[in-house]
Amino acid sequence: MNIILTGATGTLGSQVLFSLLENRFQEIDTLYLIVRKKNKAMPKDRVATMLDSPMAPDFLKANKGAIAKKISVIDADQVLRPEQFLERAQSHYFIHSAGYVNLSVHPDSKAEIYRENLTFTQRIFVAYAPYLKKFSYISTAFSIGKLDGILKDNYLAVEQKEYRNFYEASKHAAEKYLTKAGAENNIAIQILRPSVLGGNIMESPSFFISKYMVFYLFAKFFHRSASDDMVRIQANADSKLNIIPTDYAARVITKVFDTPVEQLNIVNSRGTQIFSGISKILETVNFKNFKLTEELLETANEFESALEQFYYETIGVHLTPYLTAKPYEWDTTLLESILPIPKYNLNEYLAATIEYAKTNGFRNQRW
């Protein structure tokens, strides 16, 4: 089995890499990792740093020699020239985990977000089509945009015109493009959609995540604030936070990428009640002067403090559309049949993930 993986140094991609090596090692002939240079670190050095990291599974450390023989690191500068490192006689599985998570709603951001999430995906598919057996696209559980109720795995059957941001819209557009292009080229397409990613629940170290985003940014904002001003946080009391541990999502991807599953939402069957979840996050970072409200805050004249205004002008712009969303849940019947979702206390998990981030200074992994 030959596998091509993008995003191998990313939050989810790194865990997919670990899981592939640990759980599918005997089946893999060559695992191609497409990796960018970062500052002065070359792609091979970045991968070596990651595999030698204390955060890597013990299996990797115990089998470094054998693993090295199966991994081929490709400089991302060569990503659109697969003829330089692939053979057409072989059929490859492509797991496209690289993506650009940007929740901006500013019109100036649209072109960049679409370029990274749609155009780049299109160019990759065209370049690799002659070599592919299957293309698995890592999208997002929120690519469906603004809906409520029970969400099923088949997003492609839904005609959606209202998205919270360009990120959602660009990912949904990529899903539609791949489905059409795959049918035209007789290449199997798989769409996998993780929810908001949180720290490890199954793997060591517990609660580890390589990059702090989304609800972590919320915690980081208030943890680092030097102000004790009052802040009102707008949210829908009936809504929920849906967080899925990254290691669980990676294991699911590892299990299904070579199966007939066409669409799968990798989400939690239970959501964290939004008011209790936000309260738990702020309690963990010791920010006490807040009020949760369903009141609509629209203008600067309505802000009660400078900190409140700063919140709504920065991360609040991106997070409020999710905190105020209508209640919705996902049908996890298929997901649970593939790999049961671990059972744990949602609020305790949320507090532990934030505590872990605090202990590590909210610093992302340097690999």
Residues 84-100 pLDDT 10s = 999 988 899 999 999 99
Is-contact 188 134, C-beta < 8 A? yes
Residue with tokens 């489905």: 179
Res 296: pLDDT: 77
Judge: domain 2-197+243-266, CATH 3.40.50.720. Answer: yes
- Please, which pLDDT band fits residue 300 given cuts at 50, 70 and 90? low
Determine the pLDDT at residue 159. Answer: 81
Query: What span, in angstroms and rounded, lies between the C-alpha atoms of 297 and 308?
Result: 10
What SS3 string covers the chain? CEEEEECCCCHHHHHHHHHHHHHCHHHCCEEEEEECCECCECHHHHHHHHHCCCCCCHHHHHCHHHHHHHEEEEEHHHCCCHHHCCCCCCCEEEEECCCCCCCCCCHHHHHHHHHHHHHHHHHHHHHHHHHEEEEEEECCCCCCCCCCEEECCCHHHCCCCCCCCHHHHHHHHHHHHHHHHHHHHCCEEEEEEECEEECCCCCCCCCCCCCCCCHHHHHHHHHCCCCCCCEEEECCCCCEECEEEHHHHHHHHHHHCCCCCCEEEECCCCCEEHHHHHHHHHHHCCCCCEEEECCCCCCHHHCCCHHHHHHHHCHHHHHHHHHCCCCEEECCHHHHHHCCCCCCCHHHHHHHHHHHHHHCCCCCCCC
CA distance 92 to 106: 38
> Which residue do the tokens 């005997």 mark?
26
User: For 17-40, what is the mean pLDDT?
Assistant: 96
For the cut 70, the answer to whether the pLDDT of residue 214 exceeds it is yes
The token pair at 312 is 């709504």
Entry pTM:
0.96
pLDDT of 155 reads 96
pLDDT at 298 > cutoff 70: no
Averaged pLDDT for residues 261-288:
96
28 exposed, middle or buried (CB, 10 Å; 0-12, 13-18, 19+)?
middle
**Domain boundaries along the sequence of the chain:** 2-197+243-266, 201-241+272-327+343-359
Q: Tell me: the pLDDT tens digits for 12-23?
A: 999 999 999 999
Cis previous bond, 205, omega within 30 = yes
Tokens 């989304």 locate to 214
Read off the tokens for 130.
């002659």
| Percent of the chain whose predicted confidence (pLDDT) is above 90 | 93
**How do residues 103-145 score in pLDDT, each as one tens digit?**
999 999 999 999 999 999 999 999 999 999 999 999 999 999 9
Residue 187, pLDDT above cutoff 90: yes
